[in-house]
Structure 1
Amino acid sequence: MNVVLTLDSKMLDKLFLKFDKYKKASKNQYIVFYAKLPKATISVYTSGKVVFQGEDAERIAQQFGHAASSRPQQQENIIGTDEVGNGSYFGPLVVVASFVNAEDVLLLKKLGVADSKKVTDEKIYQIAPQLIENITHVPLIVEPTKYNQVIDSGYNAVSIKVALHNQAIYLLEKRVSESIEYIIVDAFTTEKNYQKYLLAEQNRVNGKVTLLPKAEDQFLAVACSSIIARYLFLESLKALSLEAGYTLPSGAGAASDQVAAKLIRQNGRESLKKYAKLHFANTKKAIHIAQI
């Protein structure tokens, strides 16, 4: 890793003093100070630019004003969260937080863990039970009836996810005895929005939460949560389908409108709240279809 800083004379003097014992000669005429540490090198140029290189570069540079990156360079000792069902009219909203250590990383790689949207449902059913058994995680499942009650109480589609991700992380922190170095949330909103909605929540996590786009493609902990959440969503959708007497489709397309219209004709509008997220536009479409 490389970190480049421009330091004033006072900070340069501090650096020279601190790393004088590691000083080595440099053949580069523009380098006025060169230090070789066990896991890093420091090069100070005549321009005042300082280049830190190596495994410990960021850690050392932090001592001279460098802000540490919130983006992990590792896969282990991470809590990762993801949600499934937020884009589906029928079925629950599922949020899962998973903690992954070094041993878990080996298992996840062996199983071929990846973002659930890129994994077939068949493979999800093969590997999710193993993840549930072996990975420390917290699943939160909000079935449609409860989901609609929460939305009616004042939450919206974003704030309910903030609440669930926060609660899943909060509960998982209590279960993990190992060091948690990073907490990664697959970004579903802006940092500003996340923090705004977080103010309404009573429980607060201990670690710093980092929102990253497409985190499920980059971090095994998030991908693991994605697969477990997808599995739990599909299982719930199956159970709801049996109860409804119809195969409830995933997603929010025309097929969902048609099935919802059948439920309305058979059992009335009120029946939808047991199976669907009523604030979706599908509800109005289904009511219109049912009246034709």
Structure 2
Amino acid sequence: MGTIVFKMTAKQISTLQKDLASYATATNNPYASFSAKVDGTSVIAYTSGKVTFQGAKPEVLASRFGYQAEPKQSPEGQNLALIGSDEVGNGSYFGGLAVVASLVTPADHALLKSLGVDDSKNLNDSKIRQLAPLLEEKIPHKALLLSPQKYNEVVGDGKAHNAVSVKVALHNQAIFLLLQAGAKPDKIVIDAFTSEKNYQKYLKKERNRFDNPITLEEKAEGNYLAVAVSSIIARNLFLENLDKLSQEVGYTLPSGAGTKSDQVAAKLLQAYGDQALQATAKYHFANTKKAYQRLK
């Protein structure tokens, strides 16, 4: 679900109220002058002049009333040889942590565009599984997977890593290996998961280092094809690991860290005991405690 907020003139708000009168809804918000719901998009006009559009595609409705999105740089138009790195699995209780670094040059752009490469968060798992093998074959990359068992050995109180430093270590190692294999990028971009200060703090602890500067950028998978490629390959690696773990324990392990994960974790505890979570999940997540509470 997306949200767009922008300021409108009194005349624009008046036009909005007239055009959406038949979609008007009641509101108890004392600061709202008008509210409506159109095809799944909620609209609220405030007395301050700000208007919010919230829904699956809020920009479609907002554009009717003067909203203009900031122009987005086309990732395939960047004339750079670029290493992009991304991770998948960090927010999922079950499954490992996958990190991939990929080298994409301008010569790859046409192919990637023809394959429909995009931010993997916008692709369903079926499309991810279809694209990843093609990308693995065509694009130079290094992929690392930290299994749940190994993750639990190194991440946690009193252990070598916390949830951030372990990602720094994996991103650094994947990029290092790609550079060692002969990659010569003009730029290196990591999809930001922490601040530059934090990244550099944890990087000092790493043995394998390189001189190339790195850029940490939020939502980089939507701005750079190299990061998008890494995101897709990493997602597939994570899904394959989740499939393998599911087969081993005889339960379908869900992605994510919601109630369903709590339920499955409780079943694993009942069937196999604590060691099952050590082997399939990121043990320090709150889901572990919730699973135990379900057994009381």
| TM range, smaller chain | 0.7 to 0.9
* Amino acid of the structure 2 residue aligned with 1:80: G
Normalising by the residue count of structure 2, what TM-score does the alignment of the two structures yield?
Answer: 0.72
Aligned residue in 1 for 2:189: 184
Deviation at 1:73, TM superposition (A): 7.9
Distance 1:255 1:209 in 2: 37
Residues 94, 140 of structure 1: 8 Å contact kept: yes
Give CA deviations for 1:173-200 in whole Å, capped at 9, x if unaligned: 01135x3100000000000000001111
Sequence identity (%):
58
Deviation at 1:127, TM superposition (A): 1.0
Deviation at 1:80, TM superposition (A): 0.1
Give CA deviations for 1:221-253 in whole Å, capped at 9, x if unaligned: 000000000011101100100001100000000
Aligned residue in 1 for 2:179: 173
Structure 1: 4+ residue segments shifted above 3 A: none
Deviation at 1:126, TM superposition (A): 1.4
Deviation at 1:76, TM superposition (A): 3.5
Distance 1:98 1:236 in 2: 20
Aligned residue in 2 for 1:261: 266
Distance 2:154 2:79 in 1: 34
Q: Which has the larger radius of gyration?
A: 1
Normalising by the residue count of structure 1, what TM-score does the alignment of the two structures yield?
Answer: 0.73
Residues 90, 276 of structure 1: 8 Å contact kept: yes
Distance 2:79 2:229 in 1: 12
* Amino acid of the structure 2 residue aligned with 1:89: Y
| Alpha carbons of structure 1 residues 205 and 169: separation in structure 2 relative to 1, 3 Å | same
Distance 2:154 2:87 in 1: 17
Distance 1:222 1:285 in 2: 34
Distance 1:134 1:73 in 2: 19
Aligned residue in 2 for 1:147: 151
Distance 1:245 1:158 in 2: 31
Residues 80, 187 of structure 2: 8 Å contact kept: no
Distance 1:154 1:189 in 2: 18
**1:128 aligned to 2:132?**
yes
Q: SS of 2:84's equivalent?
A: strand
Deviation at 1:206, TM superposition (A): 2.7
**1:99 aligned to 2:108?**
no
* Amino acid of the structure 1 residue aligned with 2:120: S
Further displaced range: 181-190 or 102-111: 102-111
**1:209 aligned to 2:192?**
no
* Amino acid of the structure 2 residue aligned with 1:107: L
Residues 75, 105 of structure 1: 8 Å contact kept: no
Residues 78, 106 of structure 2: 8 Å contact kept: no
Deviation at 1:75, TM superposition (A): 5.0
Aligned residue in 2 for 1:85: 89
Give CA deviations for 1:117-169 in whole Å, capped at 9, x if unaligned: 11111111111110011110000000100000011423111000000000000
| Alpha carbons of structure 1 residues 266 and 211: separation in structure 2 relative to 1, 3 Å | same
| Alpha carbons of structure 1 residues 142 and 188: separation in structure 2 relative to 1, 3 Å | same
Distance 2:236 2:211 in 1: 28
Aligned residue in 2 for 1:164: 170
* Amino acid of the structure 1 residue aligned with 2:78: Q
Distance 2:168 2:152 in 1: 16
Aligned residue in 1 for 2:112: 108
Distance 1:110 1:76 in 2: 19
> 5+ unaligned residues in a row in structure 2: which ranges?
1-75
Distance 1:226 1:193 in 2: 22
Q: SS of 1:108's equivalent?
A: helix
> 5+ unaligned residues in a row in structure 1: which ranges?
1-71
